[in-house]
Structure formats: structure tokens, C-alpha cells
Amino acid sequence: MNIDQAKNLTFKLDEQKLNRLHWRMVITAGMGFFTDAYDLFVIGVVTALLKPLWHLTANQIALLNGASLASAAFGAIIFGWFADKWGRKKMYGVEVFILFIGALLSAFSTSFTWLLISRILVGIGIGGDYPTSAVVASEYANRKNRGFLVLLVFAMQAVGLIVGPLFASLLMICHLPHPYIWRILLALGALPAASVFYLRRKIAETPRFLVTKHPLPLEVSRIVNDLAGHTNKIKVTAIPTEKLLSSKWLKCLLGTAGAWFLLDIALYGNGVSSVLIMNTISPHASLLKHTLLSALIFLCFAVPGYFFAATYVDKIGRKSLQIMGFGIMAFCYLLIASIPTIRQIFFLFIGLFGISFFFINFGPNTTTFLIPSEIYPTRIRARAHGLSAAIGKAGAFIGVFFLPLILKNEGLSFTMIFVAIASLLGILASFLVPEMKGISLEAQGFKNDAPDQ
């Protein structure tokens, strides 16, 4: 296949209408992100329960909260690399199996060390899900609805965000003993991972990957026929290799990885530590009240942000949405930091803190996931997304590990200044990436490819 033939094929994929295979892909990939979000954020509730039971120190709590994030960086790089080398299909499902094993082992932990190792396994699975699911969703999507479909997958994270705190609150309301509650919460994370394993192993290889990697005309023809009604058999040969660390893609990598790193400092720092932040504002309330309040903020502010982003990203554009979100986040954090009245009036603080969560999701939390799944050529797409996600998770680890310590030693005001600076730097990183609204996935890659002779 020469470049003109490849362009013709991808044009047919880009112009297809939404169909049942798109929706199956959304469910298959989306259930993984429900699990990812649940497992990452429920650990904040679990460590609050374990602190008096296991007499955990502040450093041990920080390690448990951050272990999955640190290992997620490793998982994202490894799975991204293998997904580009061996194919999306061969890797898809392996990550949720690792997540399932880690979640199950977590629930049966009998010591700090056992739980820490189990959380590291969970993180590897979560990290692997980022490049594989993002790339599968993006490569199956059509041009017109690509942002909507990819972010609909990511929006399942919103459900996981609230199920953990709500389920924990329900168990506490039922007066179950705390030693049972934390084990049930961790065990629940294994169920959706197990449910999606079969669907992921059955998904077909993406036609865009087959076109660039393998001479499999019948396989390409079959998948394209399912997606776009294209029935001609196509001879596929390799398209020239792209290098991730070339000057062009290195600039893009600085933009995607840098923005994700800075965003996750604020997102995971504030998200996982939300119970601690609530305790700073209202120190005499119970753990149940703080947990319910955190869930209410996620439900009323964070969850709508995900679905607003999915609905409007193909209209507003990825880059504009990301810059706007970072800007409003910084504004909210600086207001909380600089005006003592806001911190003293509980509901005023909750409103402003909630608005920051809305624009995290109607902004960089969703776009940092979407942009690296679009701007890179197919041959390096999973690696670039995995590396961007890995560097993002390094920022998440910094947020989860250091923000509770900053909050304890320096107070809420200094903590908000810290995340405001990260948000402002995120605006600068956003200018390094191109806008992909309405543009084919192959637009970047084909510019540099020469036709086969």
C-alpha cells in the first residue's frame, strides 16, 4: 500500500457514521476507566480507615496513597511500547488482569508491606490502561466524533470517582466494623476489571495499526468492512518509521507530558487528599461526613465536567478547552489562598473548590488524555501516549505524596498557591501542542511519509 492508498482507506474510516462497534468499544474501554478511577481514589478512604487500625505514620499513608500512581508510570511506558511493537489487540486485556490480581491481593493484605506491593500491582494495570484504551478508542473513532467517543470512554472515570466514597459511606452508615469496610472497598475494585477482561481480549486489532504494521489484507478488509462498509481487499505494506524523539515530536511530547504532569499535581493532590482538606476546613466533623462531602463535590461538580467535555470538545477544540480549564483552576486556587473569608465560610469554600473540580474535567483532565491519542502518528502513538501518561503520573505522585505534607506543615493557603502555580505553568505547556479538532489522525504522519515505490 502506498501513501495515497493509505490516505484513501483512512478517509473511509474517518467519514464513517457512528455504529454499534463504536459503542461496544466505548463500553469495553470505559469499564476499565471506571475501575482505574475507583481504585486510585478509594485508597484515600482506605488509608483514613487504616490509620488507627494499623497505626500508620504520615509517611506510610503517603506511600500507600502514592504507590499505585508511581507504578502506573511504569505500566504506561511498558504497555505503550508493546502496543506499538506487537499491536493493540495482543496487549489489550493484560492490563486489567494485572489490575484484578492487584486489587484482590490488596483486599487480603495483612501488613503494610503486603498492601504496598499489591497497590504497586494495581498501579501497573492502571498505567497500562491509559495508552491502550486511549489509542484503541482514538483509532476506531471517526474524525467528526473522535473527541466525543474518546472522552466518553474517559468519562467513565467520573462514575468510579463517586462510587468509592458513596459505597464507603454506605458501609459506615450500616455500622460495619472498619476492618471489614476497607477490605470490601478494595475487593470491589477487582469486579469490574474481571468483567471487562473477556471483552478486551475479543476486540479486533485497529485497522489503522494493521495498515502501518502488517501485510494482512484480509484482516484489514474485514475490519474496515465492519466499520465503514469498505469491501475491497487491500494489500498492506509497511509505512516508513517515525521516531518519537525527533525534534518535531519531542516538542509535542513536552506539551502533552508537561501539561499532564502539571495537571495531575493538582488533580490527584486535591482529589486523594480531599478528606484531609475537608478536615482542615471543618476539623470537628466525622470521617463519614467528610467522605460524603467529598462524594458530593465529585457528583455535583466533577462528574458534569466530564460529560460537558465529551459533548463540547469537538466544537470548542482541545487546546482552547485545556487552556481555559487551567486558567480557571488557577483563578479558583488563588482566590482560596488569598482571601481568608473564603476559607472561613464553609459553603463558600465548597462552592469555589467545586468549581475548580468542574474545570479540571471540563478542561485539562480530559484533554490531556485525548490530545496524545491524536497528534502522534500511528507507529509511535501508544508509546507517546504511554510516556505522556507516565510523566503525568509522576506529577500525580508528587501531588498525592507532598500535598498532604504541605497541608499539614504549611496550611491550606500555601497548598492552594502550590497547585495554582502548577496550573499556570500548564497553560504554557498547552501552547506546545497542535489543535486536532476535525483533523484526521493521519494528517500529522502522512506529511512526512514518502510513498512506497
Q: Which three cell numbers stand for residue 395?
A: 506529577
Q: Which three cell numbers stand for residue 181?
A: 469496610
pLDDT value, residue 443: 66
pLDDT value, residue 299: 86
Region at 195 (left for phi over 0; alpha for psi -120 to 50; beta for the rest): alpha
Domain ranges of the chain: 3-212+221-228+239-435
The position carrying cell 476499565 is 32
Let me know: does 188 contact 43? Beta carbons within 8 Å. no
Would you give the distance in Å from CA 34 to the centre of its chain?
10
Distance between CA 29 and CA 23 in Å, rounded? Answer: 10
Distance between CA 17 and CA 29 in Å, rounded? Answer: 20
Q: Which three cell numbers stand for residue 253?
A: 511530547
Would you give the distance in Å from CA 373 to the centre of its chain?
12
pLDDT value, residue 74: 94
The CATH class that applies to domain 3-212+221-228+239-435 reads mainly alpha
Strands (E), 323-450: none
Distance between CA 46 and CA 299 in Å, rounded? Answer: 20
User: For 141-242, where are the alpha helices, taking DSSP H only?
Assistant: 146-173, 178-188, 190-202, 207-213, 217-228
Distance between CA 66 and CA 410 in Å, rounded? Answer: 20
pLDDT averaged over 10-residue windows placed end to end, the chain, 453 residues:
56 73 86 83 84 90 84 94 91 93 94 95 93 91 88 90 81 88 92 87 82 56 52 46 68 95 88 66 71 79 93 95 97 92 82 92 96 91 95 88 82 89 97 89 54 34
The position carrying cell 498532604 is 404
Identity of the residue numbered 40 = L
